Each structure stands twice: as C-alpha cells, then as structure tokens.
Structure 1
Amino acid sequence: MLVLGIESSCDETGLALYDTQRGLLAHALYSQVKMHEEYGGVVPELASRDHIRRAIPLLEKVLADSSVQRSEIDAIAYTQGPGLAGALLVGSSIACGLGLALDKPVLGVHHLEGHLLSPLLASEPPAFPFIALLVSGGHTQLMRVDGVGQYAMLGETLDDAAGEAFDKSAKLLGLGYPGGPAISRLAEFGDPNAYTLPRPMLHSKNLDFSFSGLKTAVLTVVKNHPANICEQDKANIARAFVDAIVDVLTAKCMTALKQTGLKRLVIAGGVGANRQLRESLNAAAAKRRYKVFYPELEFCTDNGAMIAFAGAMRLQRDPNLAKKEYGFNVKPRWPLDSLSAP
C-alpha cells in the first residue's frame, strides 16, 4: 500500500510517500523558521498562508524523487490535529482535494501519533510494548504503548511543556527563535556549578510534570542581574536550566520503566533531538539495562514521513479506515489517549 502523507500542523510543511512493502520512498520538508524569527514566534496567519504556497511544489518533489505517478497512490493521510486551526485546514483541504481529484481515499491522522511512531522508521525500530516520552511543542507526556492505537497515559505536564519552557527561557536570555536549540547550544559553554535551579515534581509520587516554575526561576535569576548579562553568565544560566529539565525528564522515564516492568524507552518529538537529554537518558538506561530508541534526527521535528507512516500502519491493519469522503474538519485539540486501536 502506497500512502501519501501531508503535515501542516504548525510551521513546517511536510510531504512524504511511504510504501508498506518498500518503506519510505521520499520525503520533503519546508521550515518557516526564518519567516517567524522576525516576530519571535509562530504567527498563525502567516503560517497558514505559507503552507498554501509550499504544499504542491513539495508534492511534485516527492513524486519526482520517488519516480511515482499520482495514479499509483493508494491513500492520502493528513494531519487532522492537534495544531493551529488555520494550518490544519490547509493540509486537510489539500489532502481531500487531491483525494477527490485522484479518486483516492483519505485518512485524518493524529499529529502526536505520528511523532510517537516515528522511531519505527529507524533502521533498528523498537518492538512493542514500550514506554514513550513524547516531548513535542506544547506536549510533554509519558505513555505506555502496546501497539498502534493502544496508548495509555502515565503522566503529563500540568502547565508548561518542556518545549515551551525551552522557548520561554531562551527569550528571557535574549536568544533567537526557535529558542530550544539556541539555549541548548549556549548551555554547552556554561558552568554546571554556577547556578542551581529547581527540579519541579522530581520527587512527586506520580509521573506528571510541571515546568512553569522552572521558567519563573529563570526569570528571577535574570531580573536579579545587572542590566546587561555577560555572555558567560547567560551560558551558565542556560546550563542550569537545561540540566534541570534533563534531570526531571530522565528521572520520570526511569521511574515509568521501573513501575511498568518494561525495558524499552522511546523518545519522540523535537526535544528528543536535544544532545544533553540523549546523553543523560543513555547513561541512566545503561545502568539499569534498559534500551532507548530515538527517531532519526530529521524526523524529530514535524515532518510528512511520520504522517505517511502512521497512516500506513493504521491502514495496514484496517484498509477501510480511509474513505472517499471529502468533507473535512480539523481537531486543534485532540487527546492522544482518546485514539482507539485500528
């Protein structure tokens, strides 16, 4: 089965072709980061308009790169939610328009399910069941994954997600957008002993997270400084911030594995590309004889490959999920654990 995937939930336009026999045939991605840098964050209206401009050229690219004809596509999977409503509407309308024009069935896919399953695209994919740490945008969640569509929430953030804390703290330090990669790079030059920031809910008796207090602690440190913070001190604060988040995420993951008795941990989403987090998780897992799986770096951020793959996995189990029904709606808010197994 050959599935075209379309991703447009926020500020990246991604298209890909995944074949259940041959694997990923081609994928193409356009990031809007440079456009949004000027505003210090994503401007939803600009994001939506840019998806309109980019989608069809990216479609032509993946078709050319894979030497596939439009008529060979069996189904079209698109991100139905969660995400920015306007951006989701663009991808959904393009998918359903293509489906109508080509007489192909379409399937709405959960954006976070795409992230959750993206490590299965790696050369050494994890086997089910596993614990998954999903750290993408406004989401920080720990889940038990027993199969496609079989997700049990173990813990989630009660306020700011890890990615939001990265971006907001980076802004407090005067760093550019996107803030996550910027503050992580700066932290590499920081003194780990210069500052100590709180580890929210590190010793709680559950698997939930809270990062708003950590962001406030960064704000307090910055406000207590003279008007101009030197670059070295910025690096020291960045190091303290990154160490705090990494410590919390690592500890919660190890607790989840211990409580469930599982041995495999999957990391999915943009923060999963963070070098400090990977090093900490790898070291902690090695001590306990656990194994950690990551998506390829190019699939950590939003992309069409994960949507094509998630759609293909569902359709492989139930081909009737994709329908030739081209009226569409989007789901800007859509809990992942509300999905059912195909």
Structure 2
Amino acid sequence: MAAEKKEQDVYILAIESSCDETAAAVVKNGREVLSNVISSQIALHTLFGGVVPEIASRKHIEKINQVIQEALDEAGMTLDEMTAVGVTYGPGLVGALLVGVSAAKAIAYAKKLPLIGVHHIEGHVSANFIENKDLKPPFLCLIVSGGHTHLVKMKDYGEFEIIGRTRDDAAGEAFDKVARAIGLGYPGGPKIDKAAKEGNPHAMEFPRAKIEGAPYDFSFSGLKSAVLNYLNHEKMRGEKVSQSDLAASFQNAVVESLVSRTVLAAREFGIRDVVIAGGVASNSALRAAMKEACEKEGFRFYHPSPALCTDNAAMIGAAAYYEYQKGTRSGWDLNAVPNLKLGER
C-alpha cells in the first residue's frame, strides 16, 4: 500500500553512483528513510586491489534501474508520489557519476519533477541528520573517506566553510595503501580496523605531520612513506613484522591526527557540536577516540551508524531535501563534475 502523502510532506527519490556503489533511496522530509538500497561492487574490485573506473561504470549501467525500482517498492511508493529527484553529480568517477545523473534527469523530465544535484560530501555530512533528529547547524564536521579528508563548519543547511583539508593523500587512501603493503588487501579501512584490534598501538612510533601556518590541515603521505620504509627496513634485516601491531600503530597515528585537529578547531571556533562523516567515520578507533576527546572538552559528539558512513543514497536524499527547501533546482544541463569543490554549484 502506498504511503499517504500529506501536503506538507516532501518525498525525495535519491540516487548515488559516484564510485563503486549503485544506490537509490526514498527519504521523507529529510530525516526519515523509507528505503535505502545499495548494490555494492566491492567483491568485483577486490580482484584488482582497488576500484577500476571502467568496470564501475558498466556495473552501474547494469544495476541502476533495478536499484531504483527496489527503492520505490521497499518504500511502498511510485514515481508519481515523489516530490523531487536528488542525485550526486560530483565529486567522483566521471563515468560512474554520469550513470546516476542520466537516470535522475530522465525520471525528473518524464515525471515533471524538480531535479536537485547534490554534492557527494554534503551527502556524507547530511547522513548525520537521519539518526540524530536533534542535530542542527551550525556544527563542525570531520569528513574522512577514500577520496576526501576535510574539516568543515556547516553554517546552515547546505552552507559550508572549509577550515582544514588534506595536503596530499586522503585518510582512506592511506588506509588502502598501507593495507595493501602489509598484505591485508582491499578494502583497507575495515581490514586495518579489524587487524588493529589484536595489535599494540604503541608498538611502532610513526610521525604525525604538522603543517606550519595551517594548524587544521592534514598530511598522510609522510606517514604512509614511514610505514613503507619501516616494512622495507625490517624485510632487509630478515625480521618478521607483526601485521596487527603495524596496523594498530598506523591507525593510532591517523586517528590522533584527525582527532587533535578536530578538537583544536572546535575549541578555537567556539563550536560545541562535533560530527564525523564518510567511510572512515565507521572506524571503531576513530569513533572511540573522538567520543572521549569530545567528552573531555564538553562537546556534543554525533556520528552516523556504520551503514550510513559508506556511500548510500539515503544521505543524498537528506541533503537534497534541505536544498529543495532552500529553493535549489538544477537544470536539464546538469552534468557530472568529477572534481566538484564543496560549496560550488
């Protein structure tokens, strides 16, 4: 039976295809998820040790219509009952993004619905609204994923000020590269998180980069190089390296860098609400360390459940709802923008 549509209710059909997940969701009024369907390609890309863009695009084409229909069926609704269509249009893999954007444009055009292009990072931040009903801007958000490491102040819905960013590798990228180097494989984040639970985080001392004149910026390439150099050094000496100790020590260095800068920024900018988002936000050590640091400072700490940290369409639906309320509408010329910057339209 179709959900009853009241005049004031807004139903967003949301689509996400920026990397290796084909996802669709129906979100009511920005915070109530009626369906959230994800077709993951992780098993496929694991064979290659990382995401292969061409394969990702082809898989999106195969799955997109099926995933959208599943999202509608799960919500017990039809396209005619949707208020608007929201879709990720950047940043991400251009071929992958194009599949979602094309599907969204076709549906919006055919059904005469408003089309709303959503920034992928804005989606990650908005994932926090789904399970934290009392969360409202302004707040400070640490966004950590395979492609992004940003520290941003969300001033209002859809309004961001970037306070810090990575100068080189994203945190998730460093996790993937180190996991591959120590033989854990892909995806690196969950594999290192699991291995680290058995290891000593103080077994090896790795550097924490500080950038002069940019106290809120991050750098992980030096840390990654230090791990690789340590591995090579021990190998030349014929020493066996503890995989779990190395994973725990590396993770500890990353987490310490992320937490210290976030807390420093919150303190300096006088922000009491701290939020984390993105795939790496599901890391158990990061969540525990951030929670402890925020409690010590008297900050309120929010995070999405692990299922909403990875790429999904529910978060895009939440972001699209607030853009819709602001009057944001995209034209039929909406295109994939692989290097889209936060705050750009």
| Shorter-chain TM band | over 0.9
Q: Does 1:338 align with 2:340?
A: no
Q: CA contact under 8 A between 1:141 and 1:155: conserved in structure 2?
A: yes
CA distance in 2, matches of 1:229, 1:180: 26
CA distance in 2, matches of 1:116, 1:233: 36
Cα offset for 1:178?
A: 0.6
In the alignment, what sits opposite 1:78? 87
User: Which residue of 119, 123, 143 corresponds with 1:134?
Assistant: 143
Change (3 A) 1:225 1:21: closer
Change (3 A) 1:172 1:293: same
Cα offset for 1:205?
A: 5.5
In the alignment, what sits opposite 1:47? 56
CA distance in 2, matches of 1:285, 1:90: 40
Cα offset for 1:76?
A: 0.7
Alpha-carbon deviations, 1:314-334, whole Å to 9, x = none?
A: 11221xx335x4343111011
User: Which residue of 188, 198, 221 corresponds with 1:212?
Assistant: 221
Cα offset for 1:96?
A: 0.8
Deviates more, 1:173-182 or 1:204-213: 204-213
Q: CA contact under 8 A between 1:5 and 1:308: conserved in structure 2?
A: yes
Change (3 A) 1:338 1:327: closer
The aligned length equals 335
CA distance in 2, matches of 1:38, 1:267: 30
CA distance in 2, matches of 1:282, 1:22: 23
Cα offset for 1:103?
A: 2.3
CA distance in 2, matches of 1:127, 1:107: 21
In the alignment, what sits opposite 1:261? 270
In the alignment, what sits opposite 2:329? 322
Alpha-carbon deviations, 1:268-318, whole Å to 9, x = none?
A: 101100000011111111111111100122110010001111111111221
Q: Does 1:144 align with 2:153?
A: yes
Matches within 5 A, 1:256-335: 256-318=265-327, 321-322=328-329, 325-335=331-341
**In percent, how many aligned pairs have the same letter?**
39
CA distance in 1, matches of 2:115, 2:229: 50
Cα offset for 1:72?
A: 0.8
Q: CA contact under 8 A between 1:85 and 1:331: conserved in structure 2?
A: yes
Cα offset for 1:176?
A: 1.5
User: Which residue of 96, 103, 110 corresponds with 1:101?
Assistant: 110
Cα offset for 1:149?
A: 2.2
CA distance in 1, matches of 2:101, 2:15: 8
Cα offset for 1:63?
A: 1.2
In the alignment, what sits opposite 2:187? 178
Deviates more, 1:289-298 or 1:214-223: 289-298
Q: Does 1:26 align with 2:32?
A: no
Alpha-carbon deviations, 1:155-204, whole Å to 9, x = none?
A: 11100111111111111101121111101111111123321111111887
CA distance in 2, matches of 1:155, 1:216: 22
Alpha-carbon deviations, 1:248-272, whole Å to 9, x = none?
A: 1110011011100111101010110
Cα offset for 1:338?
A: 3.1
Give the secondary structure class of the aligned counterpart of 1:337: coil
CA distance in 1, matches of 2:30, 2:261: 37
CA distance in 1, matches of 2:30, 2:137: 20
What TM-score, normalized by structure 2, do the two folds share? 0.93
In the alignment, what sits opposite 1:12? 21
Cα offset for 1:74?
A: 1.6
In the alignment, what sits opposite 2:4? none
CA distance in 2, matches of 1:192, 1:80: 39
Q: CA contact under 8 A between 1:15 and 1:28: conserved in structure 2?
A: yes
Cα offset for 1:24?
A: 1.7
Give the secondary structure class of the aligned counterpart of 2:235: coil
Cα offset for 1:22?
A: 7.7
CA distance in 1, matches of 2:156, 2:318: 14
In the alignment, what sits opposite 2:67? 58
CA distance in 1, matches of 2:30, 2:224: 46
- CA root-mean-square deviation: 1.8
Q: CA contact under 8 A between 1:82 and 1:111: conserved in structure 2?
A: yes
Q: CA contact under 8 A between 2:140 and 2:154: conserved in structure 1?
A: yes
Q: CA contact under 8 A between 1:75 and 1:322: conserved in structure 2?
A: no
CA distance in 2, matches of 1:30, 1:21: 22
> Which consecutive residues of structure 2, in runs of 5 or more, have no partner in the other structure?
1-9
Q: Residue type of the partner of 1:136?
A: S
